[in-house]
């Protein structure tokens, strides 16, 4: 278990599991914001959390509603407060991901250059893969330099489906 995952386990105050077109998703929150959105079976899924299951938690309900709107095509925006847990480098990568608009893509190299570390493509890839807030922090919008679908912690089939939903021609 990574340091970030241990921290999420300790900080979570509520959790809920929702159904999505791409399978069940675990939502987790802290007192500060949404800390996790993990597909069932996703790499780095935190496993069972000690936080209580609170189906009517206002923040988790808002996240669930925004995800439902996203999957149905009704909305392209997420505005729930986030509480991301990671290293300073990971947080920088995840912030860069938040700047990639729906229907747009970037390469790992693009993000490395944006962060001022053009040779850090592998480190960017690792940070992208450890993103704890799938879909909302859009790690699915990162492709290989040649535009190919590379790994996705939630499964390449989900990455393809998310990009297709957003109108990205693959």
Q: Is residue 97 within 8 Å of residue 138, measured between CB atoms?
A: yes
Active-site residue among 124, 128, 133, 139? 139
d(CA 145, CA 112): 12
Please, what is the Cα angle at 129 between 55 and 86, to 5 degrees? 70
Cβ neighbours of residue 48 under 8 Å, at least 6 residues apart? none
- The residue behind tokens 């995952």 is 5
Q: Is residue 26 within 8 Å of residue 64, measured between CB atoms?
A: no
Give me the phi and psi of 126, to 5 degrees please: -65, -45
Residue 12 annotated in active site: no
Catalytically active residues are 139
């Amino acid at each position: 278990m990574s340091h970030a995952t241990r921290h999420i386990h300790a900080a979570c105050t509520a959790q809920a599991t929702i159904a999505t077109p791409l399978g069940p998703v675990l939502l987790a929150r802290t007192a500060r914001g949404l800390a996790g959105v993990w597909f069932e079976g996703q790499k780095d899924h935190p496993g069972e959390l000690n936080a209580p299951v609170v189906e009517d938690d206002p923040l988790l309900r808002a996240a669930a509603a925004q995800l439902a709107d996203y999957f149905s095509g009704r909305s392209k925006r997420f505005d729930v407060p986030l509480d991301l847990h990671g290293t300073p480098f990971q947080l920088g990568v995840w912030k860069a991901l938040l700047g990639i608009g729906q229907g747009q893509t970037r390469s790992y190299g693009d993000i490395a250059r944006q962060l001022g570390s053009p040779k850090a493509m592998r480190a960017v890839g690792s940070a992208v893969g450890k993103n704890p807030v799938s879909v909302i922090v859009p790690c699915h919008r990162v492709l290989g330099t040649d535009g190919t679908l590379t790994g996705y912690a939630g499964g390449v089939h989900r990455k393809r489906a998310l990009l297709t939903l957003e109108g990205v021609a693959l």
